A = this chain, B = another copy of it.
Amino acid sequence: MPKSITRSYSRYSRDATALLGGLIRAARKERKLTAQEVADRAGISRGLLQRIEKGDLKCEIGAVFEVATIVGVPLFEADESALSRHLSRTREKLALLPKSVRKKSKTVRDDF
């Protein structure tokens, strides 16, 4: 990330991340799990878990999803098999779409 960039995020993205973090924290407490315990199970540090629960946008998605899985917050589909099926269907669908998106048709009838 050379230029030292401060990335901007839409409200939707921020809300979604904050919501996910909140759900994780709530789920963790309902299950009476310590931050340290969950962090250990996820193979991350307690500090990172705190940031995830706070809705920090700059955490790796793998860590966030892993924690969500551990405390029982469903992503997309509740069960694994449903998710797998959905994944397969998406792959099939993707196979049908054009491989490349053509942009420069140019002369797009902006002539009048």
Structural contact, A98 and B29, CB atoms closer than 8 A: yes
In the complex, chain B residues whose CB is within 8 Å of the CB of A61: 17, 57-61, 64
Kindly state the interface size class of chain A when it binds its partner. Answer: 35 or more
Instruction: Determine whether the beta carbon of A22 is less than 8 Å from that of B94.
Output: yes
In the bound complex, residues from chain B placing their C-beta under 8 Å from that of A16 are: 65, 75-76, 83
A97:B29 contact, CB within 8 angstroms: yes
A108 contacts partner chain B, Cβ-Cβ < 8 Å: no
Per a CB cutoff under 8 Å, which of B9, B30, B94 touches A62? B9
Q: Given A76-B16, A101-B33, A103-B34, do A60 and B62 touch, yes or no (CB 8 Å)?
A: no
Residue pair A7, B62 in contact (C-beta under 8 Å): yes
Binding site for B on A (CB under 8 A): 5, 7-13, 15-20, 22-23, 25-26, 28-30, 32-35, 37, 43-44, 57-66, 68-69, 75-76, 80, 83-84, 86-87, 90-91, 93-94, 97-98, 101-103
